[in-house]
Chains A and B, each alone.
Chain A
Amino acid sequence: MKDDKLWYRLDNAGKLYSSIISSRATTLFRLSATLTSPVDPVLLQRALESALERFPFFKVQLKQGFFWYYFEGTSQIPKIEKEIYYPCMSLSIKKRGSFPYRVYYFNNRISLELSHSMTDGTGGLKFLYELIKQYLHLKESVPLKRETISNTQLRLETENSFRKYYDKNIPAPRSRSAKVFKLPIQLDKKGYYHIVTGIIGVNALKKKAKEYDVSITILLTAVYIQSLLNIQERTSRRKKPIVINVPVNMRSFFETSTMRNFFVSITPSIDARLGEYEFEEIIQEVKIEFSRLLTPKKLKQYIKRSVISEKSLVLRLMPSPIKDIVAPSIYSFFGEGQYTSGLSNLGIVRVPSEMEPFIERVESYPPPSIGNKVKAMLISYNQHVYISFGNLSKNRMLEREFFRNIRELGIEVTIETNDEET
């Protein structure tokens, strides 16, 4: 297979993300695993090379075509780097020779920062898992199972599942557009990204969720909305709706083994203009919204909506440099402008028992975004849930409110940040 002759179209989410990349909105999100011993860079580089053998889809670079960006196969191998920048920052993936992701190491931690134009959290986790597996095999001699990957399997991993499940005859969902509440905070300087991670015991969270008879995602979304309502109560006179963007992993609803983007966003909301909400009311509303939307039939409508946008003739005929100019404003108006913030749950990470003793924790950081200056992402591993807030501002009002509300539910929280240490 001649790699440099290979190329992929971007999926519809990737097309949008590649056009909105800027020095602040890098579209990079981070998945990291902290091991029990310091990382050996030489072995990590070798592990990365082995992982790329398994996932040739990652041996690509982003190129600008006349109408759209695309991924071009390359024979170059990315180099792992020692972490020196703020998380999710300072990587221009459009630069010649740059990859749409990078692998960092720092002390015990291996971090994979991926552009959303390439894949979503699930695809990224699969790659990170392969990387760690290869690394632990080299470092700690964890046995590898020999597996042969057929070409069909490789092809299935690069398929565009949005297109596979796209049905022309299904009507797109109606979307309301109203002014939503935005956090009254200011951007920090370019290149800065402030992370606050809250570590919560899974069991405590599960117990609480069971009390309300909901899932952990619904419970945390409700707490998130409640925190935003409290902040709105304090800071603004005119009330606006709170709308949260919750990405849904479509792999749990549709059969696919794709490594590319395959998610849609649902938007649970609470309209603060209707009066004051008790926490129980919020949780009920969110629960109803989730169960109403999370069915294959309804989700197909959302697939339709993500795909039709790239099918529009005007957009297809627009040269890609012009798309780069219009896309950020369109995105901030129709995309991020419609949400107050985002909360994304990557789910539970499970690794085979022979790898578990070497992996201390797994974390995920959301991509920085200008329209929603604060976003949160959570991931569970080994009895702990790691909720990370990514914030382009220095102001931590939402993080403070959120974790105080978690504490009020009687759940213990440990906080860590990436603040400069003295």
Chain B
Amino acid sequence: MAYCPKCGIKVEEDNRPCPLCSFHIPKVNEKRDAVVRVRKFPKTANPYPAYLRRVLNRIFIFITLLVFLAVCLLFYIDYEVNEMFTWSRYSNLSILAGWVFLYFSFGYLQSFYKVIIGIGLDAFILLLGLDILNGSLQWFFPLAFPIVAGTTVISISYWSVIRALSVRGFNMIGFFFMAIVILSMWINFFIHNYRNETNPFNWLIVTVLQIIPVLLVMIYVKYGMPERIKQKIARKFHL
């Protein structure tokens, strides 16, 4: 029998942290090594992750059936009415793209990078399709392509930075805001470009003006905010 010097309680095994205060209880008994200890509790299994997976699978299969039913139905109605596929091509492409999006967001892929790239490709195909179905490519290359590519690249870099620097808690939100600002300026640039209103200098000033308040808020959160409020926010948002 050993004692925790801090709590004063007796524990069966020495040379391990105290179960109450984690203070390392020193080795006191040399002979104990010879005694084979009987486990008091089993190596526990936790069924909840598997259970959650089962429920998600059921939902996904149900949605899949619903999607294919809807696609068939829309094609059928369209063909009956117009004797060719007209509007149903747009709606069905969107429904299928939505289904692919669900697939990526239901956690079937372990790597977050694959999920981001998958959703990006899904968006590419959807937008390209919608543009092509009109007869000729009009807005895909000047507008949709750079925006989707930019969103994907910025998401990937955000995630890489978070992981590489092991960013935690509030800083994650800070980095998130920075990514959002960069992304909106990126989108802004291409929309202006499309309308032939580009003025790089002006654009740069606006970007800086937007980043400054975000930076100030981040600095305040990091150094100025009382610890109590920080903890409260962290609790509410599960940071």
Q: Which residues in A have some Cβ–Cβ distance to B below 8 Å?
A: 23, 82-87, 90, 106-109, 186, 189-192, 196, 198, 396, 399-400, 403-404, 407, 412-421
- The complex places the Cα of A53 from the Cα of B150 at a distance, in Å, of 71
* Chain B residues with CB below 8 A from A82, complex form: 42
Q: Which residue of A lies closest to B46 (CB)?
A: A191
Q: Which of B10, B43, B48, B235 contacts A413 (CB 8 A)?
A: B10
Q: Which residue of A lies closest to B10 (CB)?
A: A414
Chain A residues, Cβ within 8 Å of B51 = 23
5 CB-based A-B contacts, threshold 8 Å: A108-B38, A190-B46, A403-B20, A412-B10, A415-B10
Q: What 0/1 pattern do residues 40 to 70 of B give for CB contact below 8 A with A?
A: 1111111110010000000000000000000
Cβ contact of A415, chosen from B19, B42, B43, cutoff 8 A: B19
Given A400-B20, A403-B20, A407-B7: A416 in contact with B39 (beta carbons within 8 A): no
Residues of A within 8 A of B10 (CB): 412-415
* Complex-state Cα separation, A191 to B45, whole angstroms: 9
- Which B1-22 residues have C-beta < 8 A from chain A? 1, 7-12, 19-21
Report yes or no: A418 in contact with B20, Cβ–Cβ below 8 A: no
B20 touches A415 (CB 8 A): yes
Cβ contact of A191, chosen from B19, B41, B48, cutoff 8 A: B48
CA distance A297 to B190 in the complex (A): 81
Q: How large is the interface on B (under 10, 10 to 19, 20 to 34, 35 or more residues)?
A: 20 to 34
A404 and B43 CA atoms in complex are apart in Å by 29
Which residue on B lies nearest to A87, using beta carbons? B41
Which B residues are in CB contact (< 8 Å) with A84? 42, 44-45
Asked whether A414 and B12 contact (CB < 8 A) given A82-B42, A86-B44, A407-B7, the answer is: yes
**A191-B47, A420-B43 given; A415·B8 CB < 8 A:** no
* Interface residues, chain B, with chain A CB atoms under 8 Å away: 1, 7-12, 19-21, 38-48, 51, 235
Chain A residues with Cβ below 8 Å from B1 are 414
**Which chain B residues lie closer than 8 Å to A186 at the CB level?**
235
Q: Is the CB of A418 within 8 A of B41?
A: yes
Q: Which residues of B contact A90 (CB under 8 A)?
A: 46-48
B46 pairs with A106, CB closer than 8 A: no
Closest approach, in angstroms, between the C-beta of B87 and any C-beta of chain A? 41
What residues of A have a CB within 8 angstroms of the CB of B42 in the complex? 82-84, 106
In chain A, what residue has the closest Cβ to B1?
Answer: A414
Tell me the nearest residue of chain B to A104, going by C-beta.
B42
State A361–B197 Cα separation when bound (angstroms).
Answer: 83
Residue in chain B with minimal CB distance to A24: B48
Which residues on the B side are within 8 Å of A108 (C-beta)? 38
Minimum Cβ distance to chain B for residue A405 (Å): 10
Sample of 20 more A-B contacts, CB < 8 Å, known A86-B44, A86-B46, A407-B7:
A83-B42, A85-B47, A90-B48, A108-B38, A109-B40, A191-B48, A396-B20, A400-B21, A412-B10, A413-B9, A414-B11, A414-B12, A415-B7, A415-B10, A416-B40, A419-B19, A420-B43, A420-B44, A421-B39, A421-B41
Complex-state Cα separation, A196 to B11, whole angstroms: 12
A351 CA to B23 CA, complexed, in Å: 39
Chain B minimum-CB-distance residue to A412:
B10
Question: A85 to B7, Cβ gap below 8 A?
Answer: no
The 5 tightest CB contacts between A and B, nearest first, are A407-B8, A191-B46, A400-B20, A414-B10, A191-B48
A86–B46 Cα gap in the complex (Å)?
8
**Chain B residues closer than 8 Å to A86, beta-carbon distance:** 44, 46
Whether B9 contacts A414 by the Cβ 8 Å rule is yes
Q: Which residue of A is nearest B18, CB measured? A: A415
B residues within 8 A CB of A198? 9
Known contacts A399-B20, A400-B21; is-contact A407 B9 (Cβ 8 Å):
yes
Residues of chain B lying within 8 A (CB to CB) of residue A407: 7-9
Contact B45 A196 (CB under 8 A): no
A186 to B236, CA, bound (A): 11
What's the nearest-Cβ distance from chain A to residue B132, in Å?
A: 47
Q: List the B side residues contacting A414 at CB < 8 Å.
A: 1, 9-12
Query: Which among B20, B41, B47 is the interface contact of A196 at CB below 8 angstroms?
Result: B20
**Which residues of B are found within 8 Å of A190, using beta-carbon distances?**
46, 48
B195 to chain A, nearest CB (A): 51
Do B40 and A418 touch (CB < 8 A)? yes
Tell me, in angstroms, the Cα distance from A10 to B214 when the chains sit together.
58
Q: Is the CB of B47 within 8 A of A416?
A: no
A333 CB to closest chain B CB (Å) equals: 20
Rounded to whole Å, the gap between the CB of A218 and the closest CB of chain B is 23
Question: How many whole Å from A363's CB to the nearest CB in chain B?
Answer: 10
Contacting residues, chain A, for B38 (C-beta < 8 A): 107-108
Q: Nearest chain A CB to B55's CB is how many angstroms away?
A: 11
B168: min CB distance to chain A, Å: 16
Residues of B within 8 A of A87 (CB): 41
Interface centre among B1, B12, B44, B47 (most CB of A within 10 A): B44
